[in-house]
Structure 1
Amino acid sequence: MPLTLKCVPTNPADLEAVTLLLGREPRAEFEVVVRGDNGEPVVLRNASLMFDSTPMPTLYWLVDPELNRRVGTLEAAGGVRAAEAAVDAGALIEAHDTYAAKRDASLPESYEGPRPSGGVGGTRIGVKCLHAHYANFLAGGVDPVGEWVEKRLLSEVEESE
């Protein structure tokens, strides 16, 4: 699926589309940072704090239904363990650190409340959620697990042709 990386402020159409995709109202401010060719949201960038001030560890959220299904299938087939074994541990730590720094940079300097923790998807170490890593990768993050997922999804498409 061809994707376009762009930062677009939340607008009523995006809010409506994301509400339908999530099956609920969003719990934090967001912007659509990756769209499909049809303009539909694929990846969201979430605010670091939810509307109720709860920390939001997941900076990038994959909302495309087809990609979610395909990544979920990969995850259910042991993809988390396979990805963790396949990628360089140092590169994974760097991806977590970069993600956390980017997420935390959006908090006001004066903010003294609870902060989001962990790296990609709130994970402190290793791999927890292929969806979060893939969303980070699609949003332009250097993420070895997201790249691993992309290769698997592309090979899936090639095999079906």
Structure 2
Amino acid sequence: MPQGDFRVVVRSHDGAPVVLMNAPLLEDGTPMPTLYWLVGDTEVHAVSTLEADGGVNTVEAIIGLEAIDAIHVRYQERRDAMIPTTHDGPRPSAGVGGTRRGVKCLHAHFAHWLAGGDDSVGKWVAQQLDERGVSYAQPL
């Protein structure tokens, strides 16, 4: 669970939280790199299974590192836009899942995609879950 301020941005059909959006800074000013956090039980379990089946390596090969780098940049820009211009302390760095290159966590990419982010890795995760017959919350 996140340690700072957050809000629910995606809910399941029955109203349960699926994706949380975290503030980019904790109350003490510590950077929080993970903007979107996947918390829905169904989604977390299904994506964990996909990761265990080698999904990280598969999606990196399909999408390519240059396209994934662009996802990280968009994620950083979205998160950085939430930081007050008066903030002069440390800022979160890196992209989706706190990584700088490649895919670290399919959960983070799927959460980003569900929250309306332009994330082809998250979209690929959704396609894989569709193929496996997994129901999940609808993206924004």
Q: TM-score normalised to the size of structure 1?
A: 0.79
Q: Which residue of 1 aligns with 2:68?
A: 92
- Taking the TM superposition and a 5 Å limit, the aligned residue runs for 1:5-154 are 22=1, 26-154=2-130
Unaligned runs of 5+ in 1: 1-21
Percentage of identical aligned residues: 54
CA contact under 8 A between 2:65 and 2:101: conserved in structure 1? Answer: no
CA contact under 8 A between 2:33 and 2:94: conserved in structure 1? Answer: yes
User: Which SS does the other structure have where 2:4 is aligned?
Assistant: coil
CA contact under 8 A between 2:59 and 2:124: conserved in structure 1? Answer: yes
User: Which SS does the other structure have where 2:54 is aligned?
Assistant: helix
Per-residue deviation at 1:48? 0.2
Stretch of structure 1 that moved more, 83-92 or 71-80: 83-92
CA contact under 8 A between 2:19 and 2:114: conserved in structure 1? Answer: yes
CA contact under 8 A between 2:6 and 2:20: conserved in structure 1? Answer: yes
Q: TM-score normalised to the size of structure 2?
A: 0.91
The structure number with the bigger radius of gyration is: 1
Aligned residues: 134
Q: 4+ residue runs of structure 1 moved beyond 4 angstroms? A: none
Unaligned runs of 5+ in 2: 135-140
